Amino acid sequence: MSKCVVCGEFLHPDFCVVKEIRGDEVISCVFCHLDKKELTIEDDNGKMLKTVTKDQCIRDYKMYLKRLLDNPVISKILVKDKD
């Protein structure tokens, strides 16, 4: 999980960058790094695929993590049986 040191939100690692602040490597979301509220996603040829907001990325990542937790196979790995 990637937590931005600037805004404190958890975002998918694709929306995070590692940068150096005062000699320490820290994780910052691309939104804080570029000081933008909205990003345009393009393919390798420069064709615009979609526009995403920071709030949408945060919401989507939380839903993704919840689906992982609700998955019985993954839940079984994360939670040890009491037996």
Mean of the pLDDT values across residues 1-25? 91
Residue numbers of the domain that contains 55: 2-77
83: in domain = no
pTM equals 0.78
Summarize pLDDT for 18-75 with one digit per residue, the tens.
988 888 999 999 999 999 999 999 899 989 999 999 999 999 999 999 998 888 888 7
Structurally, the chain folds into a number of domains equal to 1
58: in domain = yes
Confidence class of residue 77 from pLDDT cuts 50, 70 and 90? confident
82: in domain = no
What Cα–Cα distance (Å) separates residue 36 from each residue in 44, 53, 76? 22, 9, 39
Beta strand 10-11 pairing with 16-21: unpaired
Residues in a beta bridge with 53: 38
